[in-house]
């Protein structure tokens, strides 16, 4: 048992292994505000990795409808409730106790799943539960099966919950390739490892003996047991693409299947360089560093679990704040404020989402003319048509895009039939 530093919580916490951080960390930003739940990402993953027997229920990428949906059903509220039972009323933050590098969201005063497991002393490394078979039915519950309650597994209960009348949003989920993976800590056979080169967390398919402790203790429920091979599998972060080994990648890191397929252009994925204490090394022109550490518009999902998840979310603007604070921590209000009235630089960087499938390691902004001033909430906000240029790992230009969509007006007298 070791004491490790978790910057997302602004403090040290207990973990099975001492700190040993990778050189680079796989990370992504998902802009919840833009997702249309088309599930193209889910299909991109499934049609690449999980279409075989024994993987039927596996959606390494899933998009669920909050607040009532979840895959597996109620994965998050179930665990939140367990945490609450171990440490009643204790899951609070000291949001004032902040530091830009080591405690950007404040200091978490509650218990992580690792600490709760130690308190509970029930033989687990991380507090967790194994979902039931029926929890894996209906991947987008309350979106794809909004009503009906026959007790039939395909139309699962509970069905008496209210429909989404006032607000809802889509939550896109993949494995978080956590800094302190609970799956890895849970594995009694040490079959799970985190790669030094990119922080990707993998289950060694030759070592796993199918104990399902990872499936039980991963808070995000991303390792899944495969009945045909009798071992567990999980999202592999499309590692051949991250390695630049995919034939299409031109030898440089390329975004994963679920990222590059995203129709709503909500996703941007890359690699963050780490310091030896697991904090992100200063990398001002890396778009992920800018979004997570400079603008802080993107926040980790349930940071209080303590695993240090590496997918960061731009929270949905319209959702009640207490709900969002529980889900993304106390950074929510600032993040939404910065997203609603984005800085000139943020406006440009947001254009990089899905502009290329090549991983962008550095961006540059070339200033363009002011387009217009608008008044938002009594404040004046100026829009500029800047150009943002993204560069690949070797420093080659990978993409160039302007804030304003290029606009051409066809002369109406020449194309009468509109063709």
Partner 1 sequence: MKRLGLTRGRRAALPLGLLVAAVLLAVAGVNPVRSQNPLLVAPAASGKVSTTNLYSSVWDQAPSVDVTLSMQNVTNPMGGGEVATVRARALHDGKRLYILLEWGDSTRDLTLGLTQYGDAAAVEFPRTPGKTVPSFCMGDVAPDRGVNIWQWRAVWQEDIATKQASASIQALHPDMQVDLYPFRNDPVYMTARDVNNLVSIPARTTPIDNLVANQFGTLTDAPQQDVHGLGEWRDGRWRVLLYRDMTQPAGMPSLSPGTTTNVALAVWDGARGNRDGMKSVSSFLDLQIAARTAGGGGLHWGAGQTLALLIGMFGAATVGLFVLIYAVVRPPER
> Minimum Å distance from CB 225 to partner 1?
5
211 interface partner picked from partner 1, ligand SF4, none, CB below 5 to 8 A per type: partner 1
Query: Cα–Cα distance between 33 and 10 in angstroms, integer?
Result: 27
> Minimum Å distance from CB 215 to partner 1?
8
- Would you call 288 helix, strand, or coil by DSSP? helix
**Considering CB under 6 A, how many residues would be counted as binding ligand SF4?**
41
Q: Within 10 A of 245 (CB to CB), how many other CB atoms are there?
A: 12
Q: Which is nearer to ligand SF4, 237 or 403 (CB)?
A: 237
Please list every residue from 38 through 67 that binds ligand SF4, using CB under 6 A: 38-41, 44-45, 49, 60-61, 63
212 interface partner picked from partner 1, ligand SF4, none, CB below 5 to 8 A per type: partner 1
By the 8 A CB rule, do 265 and 34 touch? yes
| Assigned token pair, 10 | 């602004």
> Minimum Å distance from CB 13 to ligand SF4?
14
By the 8 A CB rule, do 139 and 332 touch? no
288 interface partner picked from partner 1, ligand SF4, none, CB below 5 to 8 A per type: none
318-326, long-range: CB < 8 A, 24+ apart: 318/167, 318/169, 319/66, 319/167, 319/169, 320/167, 323/67, 326/80
Asked whether position 176 contacts ligand SF4 by CB under 6 A, the answer is yes
Asked whether position 27 contacts ligand SF4 by CB under 6 A, the answer is no
Helix 332-340 / helix 321-328 crossing angle, nearest 10 deg = 110
Q: Within 10 A of 151 (CB to CB), how many other CB atoms are there?
A: 8
Per-residue binder mask for ligand SF4 (CB under 6 A), 332-371, x = binder: ----------------------------------------
Residues that bind partner 1 (CB under 8 A): 51-57, 122-125, 130-133, 136-137, 152-154, 186, 188-190, 205-213, 224-231, 233
Residue 237 has phi, psi (to 5 degrees) of: 55, 30
Closest-CA residue to 1 (of 97, 132, 126, 163): 126
Q: Is the peptide bond before 72 cis (omega within 30 degrees of 0)?
A: yes
133 interface partner picked from partner 1, ligand SF4, none, CB below 5 to 8 A per type: partner 1
* Tokens 């802080």 found at: 296
218 interface partner picked from ligand SF4, partner 1, none, CB below 5 to 8 A per type: ligand SF4
By the 8 A CB rule, do 351 and 365 touch? no
> Minimum Å distance from CB 329 to ligand SF4?
17
For ligand SF4, which stretch binds (CB under 6 A), given 1-9, 167-175, 338-346, 371-379?
167-175
Q: Is 366 exposed, middle or buried (0-12, 13-18, 19+ CB in 10 A)?
A: exposed
Candidates 106, 131, 253, 264: give the one binding ligand SF4 (CB under 6 A). 264
Candidates 236, 274, 359, 360: give the one binding ligand SF4 (CB under 6 A). 236
Q: Which is nearer to ligand SF4, 36 or 161 (CB)?
A: 36
DSSP string, 31-66: EGGG-----HHHHHHHHHH--STT-TT--SSEEEEE
237 interface partner picked from ligand SF4, partner 1, none, CB below 5 to 8 A per type: ligand SF4
Asked whether position 263 contacts ligand SF4 by CB under 6 A, the answer is yes
By the 8 A CB rule, do 157 and 68 touch? no
Asked whether position 274 contacts ligand SF4 by CB under 6 A, the answer is no
3-state helix, strand, coil in the chain (%, to 5): 25, 20, 55
Asked whether position 307 contacts ligand SF4 by CB under 6 A, the answer is yes
Closest-CA residue to 308 (of 279, 335, 284, 286): 279
- Angstrom distances, CA of residue 368 to CA of 214, 344, 384: 50, 11, 6
Candidates 80, 118, 127, 235: give the one binding ligand SF4 (CB under 6 A). 235
| Assigned token pair, 243 | 């390695």
Asked whether position 183 contacts ligand SF4 by CB under 6 A, the answer is yes
235 interface partner picked from ligand SF4, partner 1, none, CB below 5 to 8 A per type: ligand SF4
Q: Which residues bind ligand SF4 (CB under 6 A)?
A: 35-41, 44-45, 49, 60-61, 63, 172, 174-178, 181-183, 201, 218, 220, 222-223, 234-238, 256-258, 261-264, 266, 307
């Amino acid at each position: 048992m070791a004491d490790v530093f978790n910057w997302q919580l602004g403090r040290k916490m207990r973990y099975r292994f001492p700190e040993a951080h990778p050189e680079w960390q796989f990370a992504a930003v998902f802009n919840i505000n833009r997702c249309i739940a088309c599930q193209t990402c889910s299909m991109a993953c499934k049609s690449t990795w999980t279409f075989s027997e024994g993987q039927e229920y596996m959606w390494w990428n899933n998009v669920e409808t909050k607040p009532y949906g979840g895959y597996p059903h109620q994965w998050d509220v179930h665990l939140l409730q367990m945490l609450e039972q171990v440490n009643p009323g204790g899951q609070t933050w000291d949001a004032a106790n902040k530091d830009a590098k080591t405690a950007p969201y404040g200091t978490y005063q509650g218990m992580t799943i690792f600490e709760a497991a130690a308190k509970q002393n029930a033989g687990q490394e991380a507090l967790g539960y194994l979902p039931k078979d029926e929890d894996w039915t209906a991947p987008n519950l309350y979106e794809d099966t909004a009503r009906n309650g026959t007790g039939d597994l395909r139309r699962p209960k509970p069905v008496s919950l209210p429909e989404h009348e006032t607000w809802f949003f889509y939550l896109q989920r993949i494995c978080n390739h956590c800094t302190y993976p609970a799956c890895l800590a849970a594995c009694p056979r040490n079959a799970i490892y985190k790669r030094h080169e990119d922080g990707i967390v993998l289950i060694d398919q030759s070592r796993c003996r199918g104990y399902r402790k990872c499936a039980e203790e991963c808070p995000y429920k991303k390792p899944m047991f495969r009945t045909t091979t009798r071992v567990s599998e999980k999202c592999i972060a499309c590692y051949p693409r991250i390695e630049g080994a995919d034939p299409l990648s031109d030898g440089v890191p390329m975004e994963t299947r679920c990222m590059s397929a995203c129709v709503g252009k909500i996703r941007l994925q890359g690699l963050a360089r780490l310091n030896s204490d697991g904090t992100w090394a200063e990398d001002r022109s890396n778009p992920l560093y800018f979004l997570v550490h400079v603008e802080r518009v993107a926040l980790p999902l349930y940071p209080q679990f303590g695993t240090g998840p590496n997918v960061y979310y731009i929270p949905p603007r319209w959702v009640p704040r207490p709900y969002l604070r529980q889900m993304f921590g106390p950074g929510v209000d600032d993040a939404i404020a910065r997203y609603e009235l984005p800085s000139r630089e943020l406006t440009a960087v947001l254009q990089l989402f899905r502009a290329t499938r090549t991983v962008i390691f550095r961006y540059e902004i070339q200033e363009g003319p002011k387009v217009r001033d608008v008044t938002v909430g009594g404040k004046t906000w100026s829009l500029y048509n800047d150009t943002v240029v993204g560069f690949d790992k070797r420093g080659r230009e990978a993409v160039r895009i302007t804030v304003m969509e290029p606009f051409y007006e066809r002369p109406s007298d020449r194309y009468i039939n509109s063709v």
